[in-house]
Structure 1
Amino acid sequence: MAGLGELESRVMAALWDAGGPRTVRAVHTTLAAERPLAYTTVMTVLDNLHGKGWVRRERAGRAWVYTPARAREEAGAEMLRDMLDSLGDPRGVLLHFARGMDEGESEFLRRALSRERDGT
């Protein structure tokens, strides 16, 4: 899965935060509150995200409504996996990452891995 550009990331965040299908107009309204942005730009970005498999779309009358193709956490994990695969030494990268985790993150990961091994 390809990474996202800055505007693509903002569009995806708006869709994830919305919690349901959104039209181009609704996404544009959300993003335009942050900074001026052309409606056609948002429409093009959503079309590109659909082509890349990041969003699904359905017709609702004359408009398309868009929803994320996967949860934010799943997309983040896929992006991390792609990055690890591209770096040549995934174990080394993970080790450096783990060393930078705070105690709460480390404990969460230990518990999650323990549950996974136990099948719970």
Structure 2
Amino acid sequence: MHGLGELESAAMDVLWRAGEARTVREVLDELNRDLAYTTVLTVLDHLHRKGWVAREKRSRAYCYTPTRSREEAAARAMRNLLADVGDPDGVLLHFAQSASEGEREALRRGLRKRA
């Protein structure tokens, strides 16, 4: 995900797939990597400070949940990428021309909902 490091992206993937709050230990277990508990704690703390996750204290541990869906995060990343290029209209036109029929239909639906 744009703006996230490799471990941050992996932790977000765990949280998005979970569909409910997860503790550091649960995220660590689901990452299935040889990482220290404190490493995952630091990653989740960074995500919290960046606004990607909310945390709630339950008993002695924090539980983490995403503050936005994977789709919202991807849309925000696309928006940031468009802001970084010199010709966002050109990028959108190239994307539209290369989009599959299913993608074009999804865009049409989205534009109809907005209107």
Same topology, TM > 0.5: yes
Pairwise CA RMSD of aligned residues?
Answer: 1.3
Paired with 1:61 and 1:111, the residues of 2 have a C-alpha distance of: 45
Count residues in correspondence.
114
Q: Does 1:11 align with 2:14?
A: no
In the alignment, residue 73 of structure 1 is paired with which amino acid? E
- Aligned partner of 1:77 in structure 2 is 75
SS in 2 for 1:36: coil
Post-superposition offset of 1:64 = 0.6
Which aligned runs of 4 or more in structure 1 are off by greater than 3 angstroms?
Answer: none
1:38-85 CA-to-partner distances (Å, cap 9, x unmatched) read 221111100000010100001111101100011111111111111110
Where does structure 1 lack aligned partners over 5 or more consecutive residues? none
SS in 2 for 1:109: helix
Paired with 1:115 and 1:27, the residues of 2 have a C-alpha distance of: 36
Aligned partner (choices 92, 95, 115) of residue 93 of structure 2: 95
With normalisation by structure 2, the TM-score equals 0.92
In the alignment, residue 72 of structure 1 is paired with which amino acid? R
Post-superposition offset of 1:5 = 1.3
- Aligned partner of 1:21 in structure 2 is 21
SS in 2 for 1:15: helix
